[in-house]
């Protein structure tokens, strides 16, 4: 089983417009509301593809009732920590070209006691877990030591840990040596403190993290796909989506696909190809809809060793886009 922790969950409202123009009135063409937050999205994608998962997150009151109903509809088992006001509302606006604009609330003002409650909740499921996944931004009042505690507690039980976050939280998690981190291009640059304009630069940075004790590094690269590095080697993969609808949650689906493939004993190459396929399939779906098995035959994934690739070009909305940790 793969257990996810989402410290800062959200109800995601995705609004589709023809063209977004600042200062003007728009008519929405479509509205999608999903239970969200990065770890929640990972669990939703896993459940949609028959992989055992448990989503752990704080929620209480009326938002918890709605959140639970949506997770039940997605077939996602869940365990809520009773914290009032923990569920945010995030708004995403997507135009006809697939360009995404996000407005994220900061989340509940939280305490160290709240962080302990989150770790205790994850601990209720650790015995049955192959992976524990800590995902997304942290609510105000909780710092990156939450993910450090997650890594340390899981390690005590021999459970592997993946971390998908950014900024200070990512730096603190890296110091605790998780089994996997999944930054995007910009987050990796921030982590190592230097620009990484080519795929070869990203490769070197990822290899340095693996040499320092990180089990594997998977970097989402927007229009340029993703790169995976572990002690056995490195691989780059990309996919093009003919009719993109939304990039929201694409990186979360990439991570879910990667983990699902590893659960089947996949190689580094096959795990990344699977992750990119899941992420690209998500781009072809509205809002933060996650792909099901029937969606996964659409994207064609290309695995390439083209390391001199220039990563400074403008993003193309039809490719797997970077994810923001919300």
Q: What is the mean pLDDT of residues 124-138?
A: 96
For 227-241, what is each residue's pLDDT tens digit?
999 999 999 999 988
- The percent of residues above 70 in pLDDT, for the chain, comes to 93
Top mean-pLDDT range of 32-36, 46-50, 303-307:
46-50
User: Distance of CA 23 to CAs 28, 29, 83, 178, Å?
Assistant: 15, 18, 36, 44
Assigned token pair, 51: 């992989």
For 173-225, what is each residue's pLDDT tens digit?
999 999 999 999 999 999 999 999 999 999 999 999 999 999 999 999 988 89
Q: Between 112-123 and 145-156, two packed helices, what is the crossing angle to 10 degrees? A: 30
Q: What SS3 state is found at 146?
A: helix
Q: Are 54 and 44 in contact (CB under 8 A)?
A: no
Rounded to a whole number, what is the distance in angstroms from the first to the last CA of the chain?
Answer: 25
Q: Residue 314: pLDDT above 70?
A: no
Question: Which of 109, 117, 173 shows the shortest CA–CA distance to 142?
Answer: 109
Catalytic residue (one of 143, 252, 270, 310): 252
Q: What SS3 state is found at 236?
A: strand
74 in catalytic set: no
For 75-85, what is each residue's pLDDT tens digit?
999 999 999 99
Which pLDDT score is estimated for 143? 93
Which pLDDT score is estimated for 309? 61
Average per-residue pLDDT in the chain?
Answer: 91
Domain limits of the chain? Answer: 2-304
Beta-strand pair 88-94/53-58: unpaired
What residues contact 149, with CB distance under 8 A and at least 6 apart?
115, 119
Which pLDDT score is estimated for 306? 52
Domain 2-304 falls in which CATH fold? 3.40.1190
Q: Residue 86: pLDDT above 70?
A: yes
Which pLDDT score is estimated for 136? 96
pLDDT band at 98 (very low <50, low <70, confident <90, very high): confident
pLDDT band at 301 (very low <50, low <70, confident <90, very high): confident
Q: What SS3 state is found at 76?
A: coil
Q: Residue 313: pLDDT above 50?
A: no
Note the pTM of the prediction, 2 decimals. Answer: 0.90
For 255-276, what is each residue's pLDDT tens digit?
999 999 999 999 999 999 999 9
What residues contact 116, with CB distance under 8 A and at least 6 apart?
none
Q: Residue 316: pLDDT above 90?
A: no
pLDDT band at 315 (very low <50, low <70, confident <90, very high): very low
d(CA 281, CA 276): 8
Which residues make beta-bridge pairs with 300?
A: none
Look at the chain and count its residues.
326
Q: What is the mean pLDDT of residues 80-109?
A: 92
Which pLDDT score is estimated for 317? 41
Q: What is the mean pLDDT of residues 18-39?
A: 93
Q: What is the mean pLDDT of residues 131-155?
A: 97
């Amino acid at each position: 089983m793969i257990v996810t922790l989402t410290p800062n969950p959200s109800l995601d409202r995705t609004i589709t417009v023809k063209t977004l123009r600042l200062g003007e009135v728009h008519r929405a063409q479509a509205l999608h509301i999903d239970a969200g937050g990065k770890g929640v999205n990972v669990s939703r994608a896993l459940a949609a593809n028959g992989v055992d998962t448990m989503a752990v997150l704080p929620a209480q009151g009326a938002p918890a009732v709605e959140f639970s109903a949506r997770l039940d509809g997605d077939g996602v088992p869940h365990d809520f920590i009773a914290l009032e006001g923990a569920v945010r509302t995030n708004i995403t606006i997507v135009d006809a070209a697939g360009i995404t604009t996000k407005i994220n609330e900061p989340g509940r003002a939280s305490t160290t006691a709240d962080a302990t409650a989150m770790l205790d909740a994850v601990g209720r499921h650790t015995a049955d877990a192959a992976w524990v996944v800590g995902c997304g931004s942290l609510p105000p009042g909780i710092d990156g030591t939450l993910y450090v505690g997650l890594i340390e507690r899981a390690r005590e039980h021999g459970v592997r840990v993946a971390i998908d976050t950014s900024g200070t939280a990512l730096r603190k998690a890296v110091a605790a040596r998780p089994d996997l981190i999944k930054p995007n291009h910009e987050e990796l640059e921030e982590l190592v403190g230097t620009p990484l304009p080519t795929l070869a630069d990203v490769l070197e940075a990822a290899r340095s993290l693996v040499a320092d004790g990180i089990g594997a590094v998977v970097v989402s690269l927007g229009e340029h796909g993703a790169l995976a590095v572990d002690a056995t080697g490195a691989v780059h993969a990309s996919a093009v989506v003919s009719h993109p609808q939304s990039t929201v949650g694409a990186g979360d689906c990439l991570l879910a696909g990667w983990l699902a493939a590893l659960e089947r004993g996949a190689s580094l190459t096959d795990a990344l190809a699977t992750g990119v396929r899941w992420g690209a399939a998500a781009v072809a779906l509205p809002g933060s809809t996650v792909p099901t098995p029937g969606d996964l035959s659409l994207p064609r994934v290309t695995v390439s060793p083209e390391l001199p690739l220039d990563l400074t070009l403008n993003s193309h909305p039809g490719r797997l886009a970077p994810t923001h940790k919300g």
